[in-house]
């Protein structure tokens, strides 16, 4: 059970879960969050056709509808109209892979950080959960960010906790799968206090991945990495030029 200090921190967290066709797993995810003392749970239904939204609503989650496809678009909708006392945003997937029972380790670090990221590559269980395509995408993204911005991340995973003020300062523009990339790049540019937290990520509990394991989708994801980081680099160059 969370201690009183943890309970207070949990009350200041808004959970955002972008979900599409996660009927078989969304109940598990909501249950895990509730067991950690998290009550502000938003499920953003990103065009599901399997009743994901109905299940989430029956379990007491706030359900928002974003029919236009786009991971970042769903995440963005979930961040609008926040209650005044929300201090943190927690992003997680609806497939049951994120080890939400490990969230107390994130809470131990929130006083000294602005962005906490689950690092799947730091544990044997987490590494085993990644497909070769996911590992390749990770290496590509983290290497390019290291070359372009001088900060080497280990992972680009979905489990992330960001301070509300820091999130607002990021002014994220991407509304697709480049959302997570842009968040991590903007965190570097804003000199935020970043920490990657080792987590024992698992493969999705049920259903099919929208990207990993599918060569066509994975190739498109690789293209997203290249074009997103290229665009962010050009924006950085232009900002530098304007300051001269």
The lowest-confidence range among 79-93, 146-160, 184-198, 217-231 is 217-231
Residue ranges per structural domain of the chain: 4-238
Give the integer Cα–Cα distance in Å for 239 and 37: 42
Tell me what the mean pLDDT of segment 147-155 comes to: 97
Task: Assign domain 4-238 one CATH number from 3.40.50.300, 3.60.20.30, 3.40.190.10, 3.90.550.10.
Answer: 3.90.550.10
Tell me what the mean pLDDT of segment 218-240 comes to: 87
Q: Are 121 and 138 spatial neighbours (Cβ–Cβ below 8 Å)?
A: yes
Give residue 208's pLDDT: 63
227 Cβ partners below 8 Å, 6+ apart? 178
Of residues 153, 157, 151, 162, the one with CA closest to residue 106: 162
Token couple for 34: 């509730």
What's the mean pLDDT when you consider all of the chain? 91
Note the pTM of the prediction, 2 decimals.
Answer: 0.91
The lowest-confidence range among 42-56, 72-86, 103-117, 130-144 is 130-144
pLDDT at 217 over 50: yes
DSSP-H helix ranges across the chain = 4-11, 26-35, 52-58, 71-78, 103-107, 124-129, 132-149, 164-170, 179-189, 215-243
Q: What percent of the chain has pLDDT over 70?
A: 91
Residue 5 pLDDT class (50, 70, 90 cuts): very low
Tell me what the mean pLDDT of segment 77-100 comes to: 97
């Amino acid at each position: 059970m969370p201690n009183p200090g943890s309970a207070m921190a949990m009350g200041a967290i808004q959970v955002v879960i972008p979900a599409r066709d996660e009927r078989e797993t969304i109940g598990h995810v909501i249950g895990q969050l509730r067991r950690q003392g998290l009550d502000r749970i938003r499920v953003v239904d990103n065009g599901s056709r399997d009743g994901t939204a109905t299940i989430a609503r029956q379990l007491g989650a706030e359900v928002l509808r974003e029919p236009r496809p786009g991971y970042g678009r769903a995440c963005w909708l979930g961040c609008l109209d926040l209650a005044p006392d929300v201090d943190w945003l927690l992003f997680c997937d609806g497939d049951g892979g994120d080890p939400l029972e490990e969230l107390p380790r994130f809470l131990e670090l929130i006083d000294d950080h602005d962005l906490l990221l689950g690092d799947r590559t730091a544990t044997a269980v987490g590494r085993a959960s990644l497909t070769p395509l996911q590992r390749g995408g990770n290496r590509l993204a983290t290497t390019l960010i290291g070359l372009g911005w001088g900060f080497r991340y280990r992972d680009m995973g979905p489990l992330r906790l960001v301070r509300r003020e820091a999130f607002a300062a990021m002014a994220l523009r991407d509304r697709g799968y480049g959302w997570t990339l842009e968040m991590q790049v903007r965190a570097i540019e804003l000199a935020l206090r970043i920490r990657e937290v080792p987590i024992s990520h698992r493969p999705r509990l049920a259903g099919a991945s929208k990207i990993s394991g599918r060569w066509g989708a994975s190739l498109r994801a690789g293209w997203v990495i290249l074009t997103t980081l290229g665009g962010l680099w050009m924006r950085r160059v232009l900002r530098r030029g304007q300051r001269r």
